[in-house]
Amino acid sequence: MKFRACSRSLFFAVICALLLGGLAACGGKNESPLFFESKRKGGEAEAPVKDVPPDILSTQKAFTAVSKKVTPCVVNISTVSKKKMVQPYFEMSPFFDDFFDGGQPQYRRDKSLGSGFIISKDGYIVTNDHVVRDAETVQVKLSNDKVYDAKVVGGDQKSDIAVVKINASDLPTAVLGDSDKLEVGQWAIAIGNPFGLDRTVTVGVISATGRSNMGIETYENFIQTDASINPGNSGGPLLNIYGEVVGINTAIVAAGQGIGFAIPANMAKPIFAQLIQKGNVSRGWMGVTIQPVTEELAKSFGLKQARGALINDIMKGSPAEKAGIRQGDVITAFNGAGVKDPPHLQRLVAETGIGKPVKVIVFRDGRALELSLTLTSSDMAPKQRRGTGGGESQGRADQLGLVVDDSEEGDGAVVVDVLRGGAAAEAGIRRGDVIVSVNRARVAGAADYQRAVRQARPGSTLTILAQRGDANIYFALRPR
């Protein structure tokens, strides 16, 4: 028994010696290390790329410098809002009141996140209006993780810009740049809190400028960028390589990749300045309705290019009427700036000071005229409606594809039928429209309209002004 016990002890001793020897061998100098550390970190291995091009290094340093300098100015904004709950399938039921608190409206609390940037040392912060709209409570978190309750100073839904205020002092502030000098291809840096991820920096380029007709806001002049913008980035700054704020990140194209939009800083500055000074925004007002100048309309008016804004109606007593602007004029320049299209004119008017005379160039009867216009406040008086009148008519369609009748008010020819596939239908004229002029000559009734159409030269284009509800619209049609 003693022999067996000794044998076992000897056996275990041999095994332990072998294991220890093996471990010692693994750690010997002749074996490969588990990993290689760069000499740049105090290791022995050379970096894979020794000579990085100086311009790449300088660009990288520029990005990190912008991030370090500007990130302290960027804040996280969280809101809680009260939203009404809708029961679309049951609220028309006679039993609805029995199940939903006697018909009392039900509400829910919604939380949302956004971004903003500090513009003053005493706590004024710019963000998007949609970030804080209808918010009951607003909290601002700084880059040092301090959290403040904030109040909404003012918001402008038409431009989607708002200002909030926190009670603090000696805060880091952003520097505003000149967005008018942006060029496509320049670097763009976005800082914000996408999906609540604080202080996220993304880099791209300016993809386009002057984007409008996006259907996002009333006044649009967006900077497009491929710097990643995601939910939560709204209200954060878009920066140039100098760290200057050139835009306010606002919207994304959900179906696309790398398509984000920012409000230009130059457009935003006068808006948030007014919000800070008085809590709301006042804009200039001309008192006209306008429409685009199509190629067909340009030819019919004698314009060389399809540019400008066509005046299709003027309000009585408005600044435009007092300045001598007429229906059918095409505004080609406003306050020294060439007018591209109706949205461009809207922005120029909105950004122009109230009560200050400005020069307006209009194209009328084949020549350009300069007029002086003084804008008033944008509180528009409601337009008067014109009754469309006119009953059904069994007449034959004319060469434009229209059947018209006298208006009940005795002014204009009401469209009672539109031939499918005709020139009028393709141009967009509808039943109920009232034709008030043909080639800028007033139409008193159906007879005037029919006479003007018959007298049109073969192959010529007719310029028709039609009234639709409160709107006046020009159409360019060629008889068939």
**Which residues are identified as catalytic?**
130, 160, 234
Three-state DSSP class for residue 397: coil
Query: Which tokens sit at 30?
Result: 């002749």
- Residue 407's CB is within 10 A of a number of other CB atoms, namely 23
Measure CA of the first residue to CA of the last residue in the chain; give whole Å: 122
Three-state DSSP class for residue 314: strand
Q: In degrees, to the nearest 5, what angle opens at C-alpha 266 toward C-alphas 196 and 330?
A: 125
Considering only CA atoms, which of 454, 456, 477, 457 is closest in space to residue 466? 477
Considering only CA atoms, which of 344, 283, 260, 275 is closest in space to residue 127? 275
Sorted by sequence, the CB contacts under 8 Å of residue 164 that are 6+ apart come out as 77, 116, 124, 125, 127, 132, 138, 140, 150, 151, 152, 153
Place of tokens 């061998």: 25
If phi > 0 it is left, if psi is from -120 to 50 it is alpha, else beta; for residue 328 that is left
Burial of 181 (0-12, 13-18, 19+ CB in 10 A): exposed
Considering only CA atoms, which of 311, 346, 347 is closest in space to residue 327? 311
Sorted by sequence, the CB contacts under 8 Å of residue 76 that are 6+ apart come out as 113, 114, 115, 140, 141, 193, 196, 198
For every residue of 202-230, which 3-state class applies, written as one string?
EEEEEEEEEECCCCCCCCCCEEEECCCCC
Query: Which tokens sit at 11?
Result: 């056996």
Beta bridge partners of 331: 309, 362
Angle between helices 342-351 and 265-278 (to 10 degrees): 40
Place of tokens 């709204």: 234
